[in-house]
Structure 1
Amino acid sequence: MSSDPWGRVDETGTVYVRTADGEKVVGSWQAGSPEEALAYFERKYEGLVVEIGLLEKRVKTTDLSSKDARTAIDHLREQVDAHHAVGDLDALRVRLDKLVELVDARREERRAQRARQAEEARRAKEALVTEAEELAQSDQWRAAGERLRALVDTWKGLPRLDRKSDDELWHRFSHARSAFSKRRKQHFAQLDAQREEARRTKERLVAEAESLSNSTEWGATAARYRELMAEWKAAGRAQREHEDDLWNRFRGAQDVFFAARSSVFAERDAEQAENLKLKEELAGEAEKLLPVTDLKAARAAFRAVNERWEAIGHVPRDARPKVEGRMQAVERALQEAEEAEWRRTNPEARARAAGLTGQLQAAVDKLKGQIEQARAQGNDAKAQKLERELEGRQALLDQALKGLQEFG
């Protein structure tokens, strides 16, 4: 036989638990030793302790309903009263009793809270009804109308009362709104003729706006839309039931056109930006041909680069001069190198070689002076352009000097 403070196992394998009312049979154990039997039923007790602890936490920290809480408590109490566990079952019953008290107390608190909320909602709705009835006599059509709409939103956000009270208050509230609407409609009846004319005018403007929505004449159509907008504003307001619909159609037609234009422009800009990147890379590739050491190979390489350049397409307008200037500088350098080569091999070139070298030197010196002047004037763009030209001139001068040495 084996035992602990809360239970024992007799020689037949029957397991008992000790309670304030004496020992209770827990069950029969034949699967192992008495110690294993006690350990098994003690684990079941620990499971009950965990479940009760979790339920206590839910009751204290969540919005568990009283009904669901009592159902869970009763379920746990049935398990405790079944005596299928070894441990301080009496302590568990005490915890469950306290939990029942807590649930009952929270139920009363919630009931009182609901009563307070209902009374607050009643007072709030009565205040809304009183204000609505006062607004029903107002001649401030726009301000009063907006305020009534705000009161409706406030009403919708309040809890419902009992059906009778809620219906009575809503009837008064709705009647006040209806009375205001009736007076407002009577007031605006005299404006019907003017608004009908505005409606016809705006329908004509909408028809034209919609007919232009798929146009690809970006500049002319955009200008016409500005004119249509001016005419729209001058036409005045149509009837309320038409105004928003007409405006949505009018604005929608413009949105279709301007969205298409933006898409085309964005696609074009993206394509041209990519073209610029490619052309800058080609310009860099061409610039690597300078200074010219093998004229024939350089000319063939430049021709291949230029063919790829021509196949690329347009670049952004503001970037065009700079990137094209780089290619043109290389081309000029190649042309001048060709001329220098011709002069070098021409019988008459020997006599002119010295003069050409002096001219090129003068051109280089002049460009340097112009660069210094542009820098002094703060014109960096011009200075950069001149520097690129100077690179070509300098390359040509170096070539001419080399040729002159060859003549010598």
Structure 2
Amino acid sequence: MLADISYLADDELQGRFTLSPELAVAASWIADRYQALGLAPSPGATSSAAGEPASYSVPFALTTGLRVLSPPTLSVARGAGRARAIPASAFSPTELSSTGTASGPLVFVGYAAQAQAPANEEEENTSEQGASAEGEAPLAYDDLAGLDLKGKIAIVLLEAPRRPDVRRFFTLMQEEASSFESAAEPLRAAKDADGLRALHKRSKQRIVAMLAPFMPGEDLDRELWPMPEDALTLKLDLQTMLASLMRKAASLGGPQFGFGEGALTTKVKRLADAGAVGVIAVRGPRSFVTPEDKSKDALPDLKKIRPTASGGATVIPVVQMKWSAADRYLRIGRKNQKISQLQEEIDTALEPRSVSLDGVTASISAQLEPIKSQVPNVLAALP
């Protein structure tokens, strides 16, 4: 069994959800193994030609992208004034968007996040406030507390307070680890301890620069990835480093946001359940990992979504707006603040700043069609 797993998990097969030619290679290999083990084709399996016995293949459809059937629209109106159309270059539907239109008053909902109190605070809060009706500990943070979202369009920040774009962060860390190992291997072979120390310094500086904005007040340069006494044993163990960072983040105090709180799927479901009819998502400037990412502020590429069997669409239109455009076209609350200012306040105080935009409405339209690809599922039955 371990040999089978090792073969299928090998990098040469490119992994799952890639739609690469290697997917068919893996499917054929699994079918051959089923046959060698004496298993029968599953009911519903197809045959390659009429009259031939059924194979082990049971095709199913994956949603691999979205086709925009007509240009999406987003407009904002203040009071009885004329609606202002947001330029098409400033926003895009997301893969979670339904097809349709939505209009309603705007509400800023922060990150639409919830968090329990840290363990040492939870007991104190429970004794002071009492447990909830369901017996759960009270929330230490709730962006939606007290908000009326029925019939409203929600403006929501992506990620979670003091947390970067997690997917991008992991990608950059993997690239850093790969680059480090490529440079370190010849230095180890040459027993170049000084070269390894210099490489460690450069790599560590880049990692600390990525992390520092999200862990204020921490001496990361001293605590993170210390240089071993024997420089020739230096390695960048990504799993160990990430585990250490997660423990450090958990020790900082304040609300502890679960990993899923940063996911747009979580946010949209929570908002739709609360009655929102549409969502405008914004990745605030503090959530970008690098200055280059912040400047680019890339919108979703609907042709490159992660393949899913069911499609990721929800029941309401969901668009993503560039933070620079949000700052330009939206003013929030009595102080007429920009979304970038509100994000800074939330991240600094770790307190919600949710508020209705009195007299401001928005309209969203998105006409999308899923792009489907047939892929093989390989099933067998006991004879």
**Taking structure 2 as the reference length, what is the TM-score of the superposition?**
0.19
The structure with higher relative contact order (CA 8 Å, sep 6+) is 2
Task: Provide TM-score, normalisation by structure 1.
Answer: 0.18
Q: More helix by proportion, 1 or 2?
A: 1
Larger-Rg structure? 1
